[in-house]
């Protein structure tokens, strides 16, 4: 790989390679963190182009700084210049879940369950931390090289001031995944709207197409609501098992108060089928970001000629600068039993 012309703000810290994704106001490029040699994703935004979307990015950055979970794409560093904002993120080499489904038409029930468990874990975790994502869809779930899903794009997430039991009003997210109460302009609970989107997501995994779809947005909304039947009308293809149909019905309840909760999902027989009994505690984060790993702190201290104590106090600030990125990438290498060594004399 030949690095492309980078931005001076990244020079010496990251090498930049080709574009791996883009969406709206951001371009995402493959990068390499120089000190560790680890691949990263660099989300690049132009402040001028962002315009009044800039607060969305501030929101996404603040949210991602407080999220540390095996199924949430990790933020390593934020670099801001006069013109640009760079978010250095965990690299997911196997791309979007969306493409994974399209390439296979649809997934088997077991494979859908393998992914849905991870989505339940990620959503249970972000709700526990007080966030609703509000844009859950296969395009925002990326695959790492070990079939692990990583949730991205917290630009629409909400952290209601009064906590997860206080209502939201903004209608946002992607129409085909939007809950009935959200599109009808009512006040809604972010957690309940996320559960509906998970129902649409599970349907897409099991069927390979959307339960509610129409080019005409008004017809699409009517299909989602079908409130006179108290449950959205959607086709149930013959390959769906009874248990899958029941799971979908509990997720795609038009009345949010009748809809299953994420806490119930964590113990639902369809979700837990064929898995080891310890699963239902795995939704919690495997990262204890409280105490720092001594071996990583020491390697970083030695590489810059600082004392361990000095490096420990620098890292304890979690300032999401290059030190934070270096530490998190070293720690990730350690989790994968790879060497905890930095490139020297950079």
Ligand X SMILES: [NH3+]CCCOc1cc(-c2cn[nH]c2)ccc1C(=O)Nc1ccccc1
Q: Does 130 bind ligand X (CB under 6 A)?
A: no
Q: Which is nearer to ligand X, 144 or 214 (CB)?
A: 144
Q: Does 41 bind ligand X (CB under 6 A)?
A: yes
Q: Using CA atoms, how far apart are residues 272 and 30, in angstroms rounded to an integer?
A: 36
Least separation in angstroms between CB 22 and ligand X: 6
Q: Which helix (H) or strand (E) holds 48?
A: helix 47-50
Q: Which stretch in 91-99, 121-129, 282-290, 320-328 sits in contact with ligand X by CB under 6 A? A: 91-99
By C-alpha distance, which of 194, 81, 65 is closest to 134?
194
Q: Which is nearer to ligand X, 3 or 23 (CB)?
A: 23
Least separation in angstroms between CB 298 and ligand X: 29
Given candidates 13, 14, 86, 91, which one binds ligand X under the rule CB under 6 A? 91
Q: Using CA atoms, how far apart are residues 41 and 22, in angstroms rounded to an integer?
A: 11
CB atoms under 10 Å from CB of 281, counted, come to 8
Q: Which helix (H) or strand (E) holds 89?
A: strand 84-90
Q: Which is nearer to ligand X, 315 or 328 (CB)?
A: 328
Q: Which stretch in 16-24, 126-134, 188-196, 244-252 sits in contact with ligand X by CB under 6 A? A: 16-24
Q: Does 155 bind ligand X (CB under 6 A)?
A: yes
Given candidates 21, 160, 175, 208, which one binds ligand X under the rule CB under 6 A? 21
Q: Which is nearer to ligand X, 71 or 140 (CB)?
A: 140
Q: Does 26 bind ligand X (CB under 6 A)?
A: yes
The terminus-to-terminus CA distance of the chain in angstroms comes to 20
CB atoms under 10 Å from CB of 51, counted, come to 9
Given candidates 10, 73, 189, 262, which one binds ligand X under the rule CB under 6 A? 73
Q: What is the DSSP string of 199-262?
A: HHHHHHHHHSS-SS--SSHHHHHHHHH-GGGTB------TTS-HHHHHHHHHHSBSSTTTSPPH
- For 294, the token pair is 């001594």
Q: Which stretch in 1-9, 22-30, 78-86, 315-323 sits in contact with ligand X by CB under 6 A? A: 22-30
- For 112, the token pair is 């859908």
| Residues noted as catalytic | 135
Q: Using CA atoms, how far apart are residues 340 and 290, in angstroms rounded to an integer?
A: 20
Q: Does 65 bind ligand X (CB under 6 A)?
A: no
Q: Does 152 bind ligand X (CB under 6 A)?
A: yes
Least separation in angstroms between CB 93 and ligand X: 7
Given candidates 139, 213, 214, 321, which one binds ligand X under the rule CB under 6 A? 139
Q: Does 195 bind ligand X (CB under 6 A)?
A: no
Q: Which is nearer to ligand X, 20 or 254 (CB)?
A: 20
Ranges within 93-112 binding ligand X (CB under 6 A): 96
Residue pair 194/259 in contact (Cβ under 8 Å)? The answer is no
Q: Which is nearer to ligand X, 41 or 157 (CB)?
A: 41
Number of H helices, E strands in the chain: 13, 7
Given candidates 3, 24, 37, 55, which one binds ligand X under the rule CB under 6 A? 24
Q: Using CA atoms, how far apart are residues 299 and 294, in angstroms rounded to an integer?
A: 9
What is the sign, positive or negative, of the torsion defined by CA atoms of 210, 212, 218, 224? negative
CA distances from 209 to 197, 204, 273 (A): 14, 5, 24
Q: Does 55 bind ligand X (CB under 6 A)?
A: no
- For 334, the token pair is 């350690």
Q: Does 20 bind ligand X (CB under 6 A)?
A: yes
Q: Give me the residues that bind ligand X (CB under 6 A), please.
A: 20-21, 23-24, 26, 28, 41, 43, 73, 89, 91-92, 96, 139-140, 142, 152-153, 155
């Amino acid at each position: 790989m030949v690095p492309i012309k980078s931005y001076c703000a990244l020079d010496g810290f990251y090498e930049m390679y080709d574009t791996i994704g883009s969406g709206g106001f951001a371009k995402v490029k493959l990068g390499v963190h120089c000190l560790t040699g680890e691949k990263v994703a660099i989300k690049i935004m132009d402040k001028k182009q962002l315009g009044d979307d800039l607060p969305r990015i501030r929101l996404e950055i603040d949210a991602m700084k407080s999220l540390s979970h095996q199924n949430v794409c990790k933020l390593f560093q934020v670099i801001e210049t006069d013109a640009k904002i760079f978010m250095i993120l965990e690299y997911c080499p196997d791309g979007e879940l969306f493409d994974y489904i399209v390439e296979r038409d649809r997934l088997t029930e077991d494979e859908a369950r393998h992914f849905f468990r991870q989505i339940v874990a990620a959503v249970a975790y972000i709700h526990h931390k007080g966030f609703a994502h509000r844009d859950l869809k296969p395009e925002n779930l990326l695959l790492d090289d070990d079939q692990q899903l990583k949730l991205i794009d917290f630009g629409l997430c909400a952290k209601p001031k009064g906590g997860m039991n206080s209502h939201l009003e903004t209608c946002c997210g992607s129409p085909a995944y939007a809950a009935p109460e959200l599109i009808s302009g009512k006040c809604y609970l972010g957690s309940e709207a996320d559960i509906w989107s998970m129902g649409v997501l599970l349907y897409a995994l099991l069927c390979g197409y959307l339960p509610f779809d129409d080019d005409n947005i008004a017809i699409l909304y009517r299909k989602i609501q079908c409130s006179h039947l108290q449950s959205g009308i959607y086709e149930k293809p013959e390959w769906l098992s009874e248990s899958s149909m029941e799971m979908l019905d509990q997720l795609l309840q038009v009345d949010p108060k009748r809809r299953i909760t994420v806490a119930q999902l964590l113990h639902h027989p369809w979700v837990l089928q064929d898995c080891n009994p310890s699963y239902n505690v795995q939704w919690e984060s495997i990262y204890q970001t409280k105490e720092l790993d001594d071996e990583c702190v020491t390697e970083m201290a030695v590489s810059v000629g600082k004392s361990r104590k000095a490096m420990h106090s620098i890292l304890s600030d979690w300032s999401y600068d290059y030190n934070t990125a270096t530490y998190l990438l070293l720690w990730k290498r350690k989790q994968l039993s790879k060497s905890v060594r930095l490139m020297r004399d950079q």
